[in-house]
Amino acid sequence: MPADPHGSSTIIEVSRIEGCTLLRLRSPDGTNRLKIEVVAELGELLARLAKEARPLVIAGNERFFSVGADLNEMAAHDSLSGYHFSRLGQAVMDQLDRFPSRTIAAISGNCFGGAIDMALACDLRICAPNATFGHRGAALGLITGWGGTQRLPRLVGKARALQMFCAAEKLDAGEALRIGLVNEIADDPVATAVKKCQNAE
C-alpha cells in the first residue's frame, strides 16, 4: 500500500487465534479509514479466508473501530468513480454477509458510516461500553452506498433506521443495544467474540 502523507493509510492485520481468524484494522492516526484500496483488500482477504471456513472476527483499536470511508477521497470522486466505489463496497459487504462461517464485529470506540455497514454485514456485533455509532453522512449531504440502507432497517426497523440516516444521529452503546443494533456489550469485545466463535465450532 502506498505511503499516505496524512498518515491515514489503513492496513488489515490477519492473525489466527484460538479457532478463529482475527482481522484488525490499523492506521497510523488510529482512525482506520476505509479507503478504496482497503475495501478491495478486504474483499481479497474474504475470498481467501472463505476457503478455510474458520469463524471471523473484525476489530479496530480501543478508540476507533473505524470512521468509515475517507471523506477526502470521497470528495475527489466524480460521478463515475463514485459509482464504482459504491459498487465495490456493496460487493465486499455482500461477501462478508455470505461468509461461510460465523462473523462477528468486535467494536470499541467510534464506528461511523461505512464501518457500520461493515458491522451490519457480520452475523453478530459485540461492542465495548465506549462504543459510539453514527451514520453521519446526512450532515454532509451524503448517504451510505454499501448496503446499510437495506440491512439497518431490517435489524432495527424502518423508522429507527431513518432517524439514524436522516438526522445523522449518534448512539452510545446502551442505546445501540436497546434498539438491537448490537447483540451484546462487553468490556473486551474481541475476547468475547473469540469465545463465541469457539462455542460455535
- The model's pLDDT over 174-201, given as tens digits with 9 standing for 90+, comes to 999 999 999 999 999 999 999 998 776 5
Tell me what pLDDT residue 117 has: 94
**Cell numbers describing residue 19:** 479457532
Separation between Cα atoms, residue 18 and residue 31, nearest integer Å: 27
Tell me what pLDDT residue 5 has: 43
User: 44 falls in which pLDDT band (50, 70, 90)?
Assistant: very high
- Which residues are CB-neighbours of 195 under 8 A, at least 6 positions away? none
- State what percent of residues in the chain have pLDDT above 70: 89
Q: State the residue for C-alpha cell 479466508.
A: 49
* Burial class (CB within 10 angstroms; exposed 0-12, middle 13-18, buried 19+) of 146: buried
pLDDT digits (tens, 9 = 90+) for 76-101: 676 777 778 888 999 999 999 999 99
Separation between Cα atoms, residue 32 and residue 154, nearest integer Å: 27
> Given its phi and psi angles, is residue 71 left (phi above 0), alpha (psi -120 to 50 degrees) or beta?
alpha
pLDDT digits (tens, 9 = 90+) for 123-139: 999 999 999 999 876 66
Give yes or no for residue 50 having a pLDDT over 50. Answer: yes
Separation between Cα atoms, residue 101 and residue 70, nearest integer Å: 29
Tell me what pLDDT residue 3 has: 42
User: 26 falls in which pLDDT band (50, 70, 90)?
Assistant: very high
Contact 111, 133 (CB under 8 A): yes
The domain defined by 11-200 carries CATH number 3.90.226.10 = yes
